[in-house]
Amino acid sequence: MSDVKTEAEQYVAQLHEGLTQPRDHECLACYVERMVTEFGCDNKLRWARRWRGMCAPRAVALERRLEDRGGFCDCEVLYNVYPERLPEDAHTPLLPCAGVGRRGSTKPCAKPLPPRCDW
Ligand SMILES: [Zn+2]
Ligand SMILES: [Zn+2]
């Protein structure tokens, strides 16, 4: 029955591969936000690296630039590099990425943020 197990494993691997695929024109910030929300942070720049490999392979200095701004792991990228993008309320649903115009750009998109509640 080892074949069945292998097939199932391959299926899961493919599924995971699809789920962690950056969407078309999805920017780095939205991708990392989406992945950390769904799969968590492993204390490394796992998702930022994956995004760069697939969307901006020539942005070789990306990790160093994120680290310079305090992003030593994926969740720190969200908190330290793009703090203005975080909703006040952790339960606010994520908005889809507004998209980056140019493929390979490491700039975050201009996604509208959830409304802030000011007293
Ligand atoms: Zn982290
Ligand atoms: Zn975005």
Q: Among all ligands shown, which has an atom nearest to the Cα of 98?
A: 2
Distance CA(7)–CA(103), nearest Å, equals: 34
User: From first to last of its 119 residues, what are the pLDDT tens digits of the chain?
Assistant: 556 778 888 887 777 778 899 998 999 999 999 999 999 999 999 999 999 999 999 999 999 999 999 999 999 999 999 988 877 666 677 788 999 877 788 999 988 766 655 55
Q: Where are the alpha helices (DSSP H) in the chain?
A: 2-19, 28-39, 46-55, 62-68, 74-76
Query: How far away, in angstroms, is 34 Cα from ligand 2 center?
Result: 10
Tokens for 63, please give them.
């990790």
Query: How far away, in angstroms, is 108 Cα from ligand 2 center?
Result: 5
Query: How far away, in angstroms, is 44 Cα from ligand 1 center?
Result: 7
pLDDT recorded at residue 68: 97
Query: How far away, in angstroms, is 119 Cα from ligand 2 center?
Result: 28
pTM equals 0.81
